[in-house]
């Protein structure tokens, strides 16, 4: 009876084939240099660090334009970005809310490699809402919202990204823009363009021009809550289909498919809508949508429950690590 070759003999054959001399004709040797394997080192996103940046924002109180809390938080944000080596521009503007109130507002812009022509835009809004208009809101509505998720979370992730861009520099340009006056809009009568006043202003008064227009942008809005679910948002799929598909695929390959789900959701007139239509930069929105609720957002959305209790560091980390992977890969021409 024939004996089955042992594992050892398989290994021996394998070894012979793999040995350098095997099959090689020494006299006519052509050296095949393997393509240089560039190892992309993506820094580790520290979720505790991002969480602390979120706590600090919330500790100022609600960041509603025309308030002292808003002004103090602005000073802190500008100081942080400067500490992280960014060139900071405070883009002050006045805008009139749908209520008729004139809002003294500031878009905070933090630039890395301001001269670079290859650039990517990252954004979030840093203001929080002046009142709770959700049908799910309980108790007095006429009080400003802390906005841990709606506002704070995206800013916290971008601060940690800024810290890491300073620690592990790249050649590509990055523009981090914190839009103001995003959340002073009207959800009841749906006044057109009442939200996203800061991004409307920025899109008409861009701090960069010509050669330095970012290739594309990523907006973070409500990226810190527990069980956050990010379907591909409608405008993102219309204006930036290539980017949205690549980001979601990358996120899923990184093991974050629990958040970056294979689904699409309805259109949100968020900051990216104006960046797409006015500034004409393809921009996607990573935004938490919950299909089971009355509002389509998390239960806490535009209620006073939007506080630290609904925040999960793991969500901040998932989003932050994906954003970093995009940036450091793009820097290497591999995104």
User: Which listed residue (150, 180, 270, 271) binds Zn ion by CB under 5 A?
Assistant: 150
335, interface contact from Zn ion, ligand AHN, none, CB < 5-8 Å by kind: none
Q: Which is nearer to ligand AHN, 179 or 260 (CB)?
A: 179
Within 10 A of 166 (CB to CB), how many other CB atoms are there? 14
Nearest to ligand AHN of 179, 248 (CB atom): 179
Cα atoms found within 13 Å of the Cα of residue 188, Cβ hemisphere only: 8
Report whether 141 contacts 132 (CB < 8 A): yes
| Complex with Zn ion: residue 173 or 198, whichever CB lies closer | 198
Q: What b/e sequence results for 18-51 when a residue is b if at least 16 CB atoms lie within 10 Å of its CB, and e otherwise? A: eeeeeeeeeeeeeeeeeeeeeeeebbebbbebbb
d(CA 216, CA 121): 6
Break the chain down into helix, strand, coil percent, rounded to 5. 35, 15, 45
195 counts as binding ligand AHN under rule CB under 6 A: yes
Q: Which of the ranges 32-40, 59-67, 242-250, 266-274 carries the binding residues for ligand AHN, by CB under 6 A?
A: 266-274
Question: Looking at 70-78, 161-169, 264-272, 327-335, which segment touches ligand AHN (CB under 6 A)?
Answer: 264-272
Q: Please report whether residue 208 would count as binding ligand AHN according to CB under 6 A.
A: no
150 binds ligand AHN (CB under 6 A): yes
Options 66, 166, 187, 226; binder of ligand AHN; rule CB under 6 A = 187
**Rg of the chain (C-alpha set):** 24
Which range binds ligand AHN by CB under 6 A, 94-102, 207-215, 223-231, 262-270?
262-270
Binding ligand AHN (rule: CB under 6 A), the pick from 183, 233, 306, 330 is 183
Site string for Zn ion, 158-187 (x = CB under 5 A): -------------------------x----
Interaction between residue 330 and ligand AHN (CB under 6 A): no
CB 144 within 8 A of CB 62: yes
Report if residue 269 touches ligand AHN, rule: CB under 6 A.
yes
- The answer to whether residues 56 and 74 touch, using CB atoms and an 8 Å cutoff, is no
270: partner contacted, choices ligand AHN, Zn ion, none (Cβ within 5-8 A by kind) = ligand AHN
Cα gap 316→335, rounded to integer Å: 22
Give the strand pairing for 119-125 and 264-265: unpaired
Chain residues that interact with ligand AHN, rule: CB under 6 A: 150, 183, 187, 195, 221, 268-270
């Amino acid at each position: 009876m024939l004996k089955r070759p042992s594992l050892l003999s398989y290994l021996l054959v394998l070894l012979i084939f793999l040995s350098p001399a095997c099959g090689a004709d020494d006299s006519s040797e052509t050296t095949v240099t393997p393509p240089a394997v560039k190892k992309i080192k993506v820094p580790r996103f520290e979720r505790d660090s991002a969480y602390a940046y979120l706590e600090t924002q919330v500790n100022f109180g609600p960041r509603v334009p025309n308030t002292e809390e808003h002004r103090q938080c602005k000073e802190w944000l500008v100081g942080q970005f400067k500490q992280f080596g960014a060139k900071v521009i405070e883009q002050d503007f006045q805008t009139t809310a749908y209520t008729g109130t004139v809002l003294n507002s500031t878009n905070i812009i933090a630039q890395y490699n301001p001269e670079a022509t290859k650039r990517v835009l990252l954004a979030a809004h840093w203001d929080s809402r002046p009142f709770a208009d959700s049908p799910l809101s309980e108790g007095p509505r006429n009080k400003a919202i802390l906005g841990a998720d709606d506002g704070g979370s995206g800013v916290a992730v971008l601060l940690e990204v800024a810290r890491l861009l300073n620690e592990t520099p790249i050649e590509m340009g990055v523009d981090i823009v914190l839009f103001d006056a995003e959340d002073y809009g009207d959800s009841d009568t749906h006044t057109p363009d009442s939200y996203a006043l800061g991004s409307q202003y920025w899109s008409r008064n861009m701090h960069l021009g010509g050669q330095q227009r970012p290739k594309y942008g990523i907006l973070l809005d409500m990226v810190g809550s527990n069980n956050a679910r990010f379907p591909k948002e409608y405008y993102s799929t219309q204006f930036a289909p290539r980017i949205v598909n690549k980001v979601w695929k990358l996120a899923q390959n990184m093991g974050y498919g629990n958040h970056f789900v294979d689904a699409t959701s309805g259109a949100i007139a968020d900051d990216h809508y104006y960046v797409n239509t006015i500034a004409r930069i393809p921009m996607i929105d990573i935004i938490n949508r919950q299909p089971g609720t009355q509002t389509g957002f998390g239960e806490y959305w535009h209620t006073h429950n939007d506080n630290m209790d609904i925040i999960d560091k793991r969500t901040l980390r998932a989003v932050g690590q994906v954003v970093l992977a995009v940036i450091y890969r793009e820097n290497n021409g591999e995104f």
